[in-house]
Amino acid sequence: MIRAAAIAPALCLALGVGTASADPAGVYTTPKAKVRVSDCGSGLCATVISLKEPNDEKGQPKVDRNNPDAAKQTRPIVGVSVLSGMKPSGDGWQGQIYNPEDGRTYKAYMTEEGAQLTVKGCALGGLVCKTQVWKRTDFAWRRLRLFLRKRRVRSGLTLYFFAERSGACAAPRRCVSEWLQSRPARFAVRAQVFTAGVRKGRQCARS
């Protein structure tokens, strides 16, 4: 923790100053849902984690009934990837967006500005487009991750230490666990070490 103590004075400044980033991973609210943007290997993706109106007119959880693939028409909307294959392009990202309301997939463009993403879906070669603004719900948590990453801090336990003391995340253990799980497969061992470390620390605190 000597290193953690050495960089702590700069933490408050980092959490108070907004900067652009090439890492939009995090949780966002959209007009109708909450989604998690993460690295899915082939590019960034966005997965629905909750809906503002989760049930249909019959009171049942909404399913992907408009999907052209009949095998997917009974799958819950929660868990569906609405953005996929988003790769860097110019000042933003480009890939595909799936619209569960009509079951169609469109060309997608995404840019980041401050605590929000501007997501645009286009058809007919870009002649017809629709734009949404997604607002980040974990902005302070994101700034903390970026601040530590620039200083080559990779340890989940160190991230937990700063998250707990800075107040950047209301539930530090959950935030760090979800972040590690959203990273590529090589981070799986780090997630296990982090969970074991936090558990051991709590046992020592009680003894």
- Centroid of chain to Cα 160: 17
157-164's contacts with Cβ under 8 Å and 24+ in sequence apart are 157/193, 157/194, 157/197, 157/198, 158/1, 158/3, 158/4, 160/194, 160/198, 161/1, 161/4, 162/4, 162/8, 162/11
| Same domain (yes/no): 58, 154 | no
| Same domain (yes/no): 125, 159 | no
Domain boundary among 119, 136, 153: 136
Q: Strand 116-123 to strand 128-136: parallel, antiparallel, or no bridges (unpaired)?
A: antiparallel
Range of the domain at 92: 26-136
Q: Tell whether the model's pLDDT for residue 134 goes beyond 50.
A: yes
| Same domain (yes/no): 82, 62 | yes
Domain boundary among 88, 112, 136: 136
What pLDDT does 81 receive? 95
| Domain count across the chain | 2
pLDDT in tens, 75-110: 999 999 999 999 999 889 999 999 999 999 999 999
| Same domain (yes/no): 115, 58 | yes
Domain boundary among 136, 164, 185: 136
pLDDT in tens, 161-185: 666 555 556 566 666 666 666 655 5
Answering whether pTM is above 0.85, one says no
Neighbours of 149 (CB within 10 A): 13
> Higher-confidence residue: 57 or 193?
57
Neighbours of 57 (CB within 10 A): 6
